Amino acid sequence: MKHINYILVALFGLLLTSCQDEYSFPDVELQGDQLNFMVTQADGNDNELILQSMEPDYISYWSYTDTNGSQIGTSNEDSLRVTLPFAGSYNVYYTAYTKGGAVEADPVSVEVSSNDEEYFSDEEWAMLTNGVKGKTWVLDMISPVGWAGLDYPYNESGSDYWNWFPDYAGNEWVMDNKDWGEITFDLDGGYNVEVIQTAINSNSQTTSIGSFNYNIDNHTIRFNGVDVLFGGDYYGDVSNWTSVNVVEISENSLRLAVVRDQSRTGEGVAQIVFHYKPKE
């Protein structure tokens, strides 16, 4: 049985056993191609799916997967609407739970032509990712790294509101001037991110691929499966390289901050702010 949550299957089995008086399923053997249901896309908005079962005597179970084949949602409703914000190919699976067991229809494939413009309407999405096409950022070696208070820049009256963004010409000690790699964001079928990271003491590079979540309201990015691109010998000073603060974002400038704890040396806690520019 494909794409079925086996815990749910067990629960349905208990339901069918213990509630025979409440649920009376027709004692009819069905084939998947005999199930009566519809999967349609809304007129004028193919990002919205309309799922409807016309099998009132059975329990419905829907499962839908994204372009990569990953399950992105399930439901036991007979009728529902599902928003698919990303362009790409999707499969919808419908299963009817009958007295004789589960009957699964063949998957229905749908194509979403473009990303949902309203869902990604905030200009910061375009600044960060350039949408489906993607956008690659590299460390800006004119001012690659700086330091800031923990509440910079979103608490202008806070006692910890301070920053120091050095120019590299006067602060070469901060980090070597070399190719530290690159970070690429795109919205091609999902929240995709790729990081090419150069080693601290050599020019060898590693590549990692993952996903990200961008919270525009509180200006934070959480990386899944990758670390943020960094430069300099700071890795051991930071306990979390996956949850970062967006200190600045524009078409041509991106500053991401991680928390550095140097309490043991008396330097205290601060944000390390890495400055990126679009790759030419």
Pair 83, 137 in one domain: no
Write down which residue in 60, 92, 112 finishes a domain.
112
Residue 108's pLDDT is: 96
pLDDT tens-digit readout, 9-55: 343 444 444 444 454 545 456 676 789 999 999 999 999 999 999 99
Residue 266's pLDDT is: 63
Within-domain flag for 28? yes
Write down which residue in 112, 145, 171 finishes a domain.
112
Pair 102, 132 in one domain: no
Within-domain flag for 8? no
pLDDT tens-digit readout, 120-169: 999 999 999 999 999 999 999 999 999 999 989 888 777 788 889 888 87
- Distance separating alpha carbons of residues 36 and 32, to the nearest angstrom: 9
**Residue 247 above 90 pLDDT?**
yes
Within-domain flag for 243? yes
Neighbours of 270 (CB within 10 A): 22
Number of domains in the chain: 2
How far, CA to CA in Å, does 138 sit from each of 122, 171, 181, 198, 244? Answer: 23, 19, 7, 11, 16
**What domain range is 62 assigned to?**
24-112
- Distance separating alpha carbons of residues 260 and 235, to the nearest angstrom: 9
Pair 147, 73 in one domain: no
Write down which residue in 112, 138, 162 finishes a domain.
112
Within-domain flag for 97? yes
Pair 101, 130 in one domain: no
Pair 134, 199 in one domain: yes
Split at pLDDT 50, 70, 90, the class of 224 is: very high
**Residue 267 above 80 pLDDT?**
no
- Distance separating alpha carbons of residues 59 and 193, to the nearest angstrom: 39
3-state secondary structure of 168: helix
Pair 35, 90 in one domain: yes
Pair 108, 127 in one domain: no
Within-domain flag for 10? no
163's enclosing H/E stretch is: strand 163-164
Within-domain flag for 2? no
- Distance separating alpha carbons of residues 240 and 271, to the nearest angstrom: 12
* 0.75 exceeded by pTM: yes
Pair 77, 177 in one domain: no
Within-domain flag for 117? no
